[in-house]
Structure 1
Amino acid sequence: MVFQGSSAAISHTGKVRSNNQDSGYAGSNLFIVADGMGGHAGGDVASSLAITRLERLDQPYESTVAAEKALGDAISATAVELIDTVQLRPELAGMGTTVSAMIMVDDYAVIAHIGDSRIYLYRDGALTQITTDHTFVQRLVDSGRITPEEARYHPRRSVLMRVLGDMDPDPEIDTFIMPTQPGDRWLLCSDGLSGVVDEPHIAKTLGLGLAPGRTADHLLKQALDGGAPDNVTVVIVDVGGQHPLFSGTPTIVGSASNPVGIEVPAAAPRRSSWLHPSRQAANEPTHFEPAPEFLEELIEEDRRRARRRRVGWITGVALVLLLLGGAAWLGYQWTQTRYFVGADEDTVVIYQGVQQNIGPISLSTPYEDTQIPLDDLSDFARATVVGTISASSLSDARRIVADISELAGGSR
């Protein structure tokens, strides 16, 4: 049966990229996000090829099993087509694309996924990530080496471990079937959204209850407000609900919406000299699929980086403590050049240091007990001594004591 619900798709180049290598599709039963990679033109071609191949699946299915098989077979066929395309167009070598696709069959969502685009389910006020990122940092998260929050800012967060590319004709694709129900809101997006807008803000926007088109607009605006360093593609799928149903015309966005599709002009011959060396396109791909042996090197490099950070942190703390200790020692040394006249329990005393204390630490010590009894002083003189009298030097402190002694002698 034809899916009963509503949907919307939107795609934007972002604020940094010079072209849009994402593609998106929202049809009657089929919904897709594909994030292309591989240089200025290669990503366009890869994601467009994926949409062109998969849109043939936008039809009713007798069973979820049939839909799951069709989806898996079509994605594998796309991988072969990418390889064939590169053989005809060698300048596109290295291109690839993520694919996150969903077919609605009765009360079920049939899902296929490879790469780091994502599918979320918003149900009863809670947002759940349904797909698993096929990335290096996700492997680190799964192994407990880093936290999900650390993964958001990890320098290797864009390195893909699995992708639909021009190297593997039999890619490993995640496929599964999930029950869905009226009121569910599905989100398919490229990492241009999920890498910029965090899940609490995505959930809040999905929970506003706006129509799919307006919801997609709001999510795109948040990505743009966050800098949008990559292409942004969003597909919203509502199950049931009060919004208008599918109009009958699929919505295709991003590079796949280009009328010329994959007919990318042949690259001009590159000339290279010591004055004008060949350079890569300014629109560098944000991620790539590493060779298997590269993973261990990445892990070892991360270990080295972690050790360097640890050593740097320890060195920094030690340096700060050393500076604080040096400042404290210099300050204490200065206090020991100061003197003042005060009192102990019953006599006048010359103290070395200053009158202040730092918590339980006294910054002064008795230097000389004058043996002048406090009881021999007048009430005013006694109060003055108990309150301490600052001196500019040791000789000045002794002069003050001499004056006190005269006062004591006069009072006896």
Structure 2
Amino acid sequence: MLLLKCQLASDMGCIRTNNEDMILFNGGLYRDETYEQKFELIPQARFTAFVADGMGGHEGGEFASELATQAFDRFITDLPSDLSHEVLSGEIKNWVNETHALITNKGVELPQYEGMGTTFVGMFSYEERIYMVNIGDSRLYRYRGGILKQFSSDHSMRELTGDMTTPSNVIYNSLGAGTSAFADFTELTGQLLDEDLFLICSDGLSDMLTDDQIEEVLHQEPTAINLIEAAKAAGGRDNVSVVLLRVTE
């Protein structure tokens, strides 16, 4: 049985006057705060650890990331038991479509939220298996043996076209803010070993620090606060949210 140690933190950064990120962890929503918890990964329990990075103006981004995290919390709570991987994948697709429509329709109903959207990336457990869901350009990494590896793919125009002159924050996939959305859905169960460290973050971290710089912080003292402080020291141009999950047996 695995024990997971979680640290999370979310910060406005140095430039922004509000925080459009939202963290979902085990049913709790976190913004502009820190939190720590240790818990056993037991078969009957379902853990969630996600970061959503909202966009669409002061109020819109905050609302979109909140809607997405709330919607996934309801989804995982209501999910029936004993679903196969194929059926679960279909349920995830349905959730993406429904949540995309929810956020889009709210923007139509309420003009101040028009065009809002959010990224969504993280991990959840189901029936003794662990999965990744990724929408947008927030990231999920694994740090093992001093080496940082990105597990998620950036749904950005720069990544799609290979044109490095394209701003890194121009994305083609999000919940809301587009005609449709999709999720990368991947099983990670076999990817977890004792002392692995998983990092989930908004681009407020990955745009301010290179992977090598993130790796260096994790090598020195791997805490959520240290990563956020490093991003702020590098300029802190965006909100920055971090979830760290340490695997121990």
Same fold at TM > 0.5 = yes
Q: Residue 96 of structure 1 contacts residue 163 of structure 1 at CA under 8 Å; is this kept in 2?
A: yes
Change in CA separation of 1:160 and 1:103 when aligned onto 2, cut-off 3 Å? same
Aligned partner of 2:195 among 183, 190, 195? 183
In structure 2, the CA distance between the partners of 1:106 and 1:200, relative to structure 1 (3 Å rule), is farther
Post-superposition offset of 1:221: 0.5
Name the structure 1 match of 2:66: 48
How far apart are residue 184 of structure 1 and its match? 1.5
Secondary structure at the counterpart of residue 207 of structure 1: helix
Task: Work out the number of aligned pairs and report it.
Answer: 225
1:218 maps to what in 2?
A: 226
Kept in 1, the 8 Å contact 2:49–2:243? The answer is yes
Q: Measure how far apart 1:240 and its partner are.
A: 2.0
**Aligned counterparts of 1:123 and 1:69: Cα–Cα separation in 2:** 31
Structure 1 residues 70 and 226, CA gap change in structure 2 (3 angstroms): same
* Distance in 2 between residues matched to 1:208 and 1:73, nearest whole Å: 41
Give the corresponding residue for 1:29: 47
Partners of 2:204 and 2:239 within 8 A in 1:
yes
Query: Equivalent residue for 2:175?
Result: 164
Partner in structure 2 of residue 235 of structure 1: 243
Identity of aligned residues (%): 30
**Contact 1:135–1:157 (CA<8 Å) still a contact in 2?**
yes
1:114 correspondence with 2:135: yes
What's the offset of the Cα at 1:209? 6.1
Distance between the aligned counterparts of 1:231 and 1:62, measured in 2?
A: 38
Match of 1:131 in 2: 152
Alpha-carbon distance in 2 for matches of 1:76, 1:8: 30
Choose between structure 1 and 2: higher strand proportion.
2
Structure richer in helix, relative to its length = 1
**CA deviation profile, 1:218-254 (whole Å, cap 9, x unmatched):** 000100101100000101112226xxxxxxxxxxxxx
Q: 1:74, CA displacement in angstroms?
A: 2.4
Larger Rg: 1
Are 1:79 and 2:89 matched, yes or no? no
Structure-2 change in CA distance of 1:207 and 1:67 (3 Å): farther
2:205 maps to what in 1?
A: 193
CA distance in 2, matches of 1:114, 1:50: 11
- 1:16 is matched with which residue? 15
Q: Does 1:99 align with 2:120?
A: yes
TM-score (norm 1): 0.51
SS at match of 1:221: helix
User: Deviations 1:154-212 (Å, cap 9, x if unpaired)?
Assistant: 452221111111443x41221111222222211110000000011112112223465xx
Instruction: Please state how far the C-alpha of 1:85 moved relative to its aligned partner.
Output: 1.1
Alignment of 1:13-412 (within 5 A): 13-27=12-26, 29-58=47-76, 62=82, 65=85, 67-105=88-126, 108-141=129-162, 146=163, 151=164, 154-168=165-179, 170-178=180-188, 179=190, 180-208=192-220, 210=222, 215-240=223-248
**C-alpha distance in structure 1 between counterparts of 2:20 and 2:82, whole Å:** 34
Change (3 A) 1:183 1:21: same
Can you give the 5+ residue segments of structure 1 that lack an aligned partner in the other structure?
242-412
What is the aligned partner in structure 2 of residue 383 from structure 1? none
1:104–1:79: structure 2 CA closer, same or farther, 3 Å change rule? same
Q: Quick check: 2:59–2:112 contact (8 Å CA) kept in 1?
A: no
